[in-house]
Amino acid sequence: MNNNLVFLTENPENIYNATWYIVMVIFLIIFLSPWVFIILKFGVYRKLRVRFILEEGKELEPLYLKKGAEIVLPIAPVVVGKKFIGWYIDPEFTEEYIPVPMPNNNIKLYAKYE
């Protein structure tokens, strides 16, 4: 026990070696960063985007939701001389959007006017 005390008191500058701390911090960053990326990209905190596309490339404010959340459709802006028909999944207006919980991917909804 005396040998350990003598060893620690003989070289007090070697107790807290800055190089060791730098190496450990770099190791932790390299080791933990992929896991942090995976958790943020695929984890419970992941937000998915719903884009609302209007005529001529204009867009409404997108919604950011978690998987399974209810999608609340915005009121489409009034266009003079045109009537709003509904929201569609594709830009060709072949498939009308039916309200479903948020899927596991980003989606775009297109406003159809006549």
pLDDT in tens, 42-60: 766 678 899 999 988 889 9
Question: Is residue 6 domain-shared with residue 52, that is, in the same domain?
Answer: no
Question: Is residue 58 domain-shared with residue 93, that is, in the same domain?
Answer: yes
Asked if 52 contacts 74 with a C-beta cutoff of 8 angstroms, the reply is yes
Q: How confident is the model at residue 90 (pLDDT cuts 50, 70, 90)?
A: very high
Q: How confident is the model at residue 33 (pLDDT cuts 50, 70, 90)?
A: confident
Question: Is residue 31 domain-shared with residue 71, that is, in the same domain?
Answer: no
Question: Is residue 37 domain-shared with residue 59, that is, in the same domain?
Answer: no
| HSE-CB for 109 with a 13 A CA cutoff | 25
Question: Is residue 38 domain-shared with residue 69, that is, in the same domain?
Answer: no
**Residue 98: in which H helix or E strand, if any?**
none
Domain of 55, CATH number, reads: 2.60.40.4270
3-state helix, strand, coil in the chain (%, to 5): 35, 20, 45
Question: Is residue 27 domain-shared with residue 63, that is, in the same domain?
Answer: no
Q: What is the mean pLDDT of residues 89-97?
A: 92
pTM: 0.63
Closest CA to 112 of 104, 33, 99, 95: 95
- What is the total count of domains within the chain? 2
Q: How confident is the model at residue 40 (pLDDT cuts 50, 70, 90)?
A: confident
Task: Tell me the backbone φ, ψ of residue 23, rounded to 5 degrees.
Answer: -60, -40
Question: What is the residue range of 73's domain?
Answer: 48-113
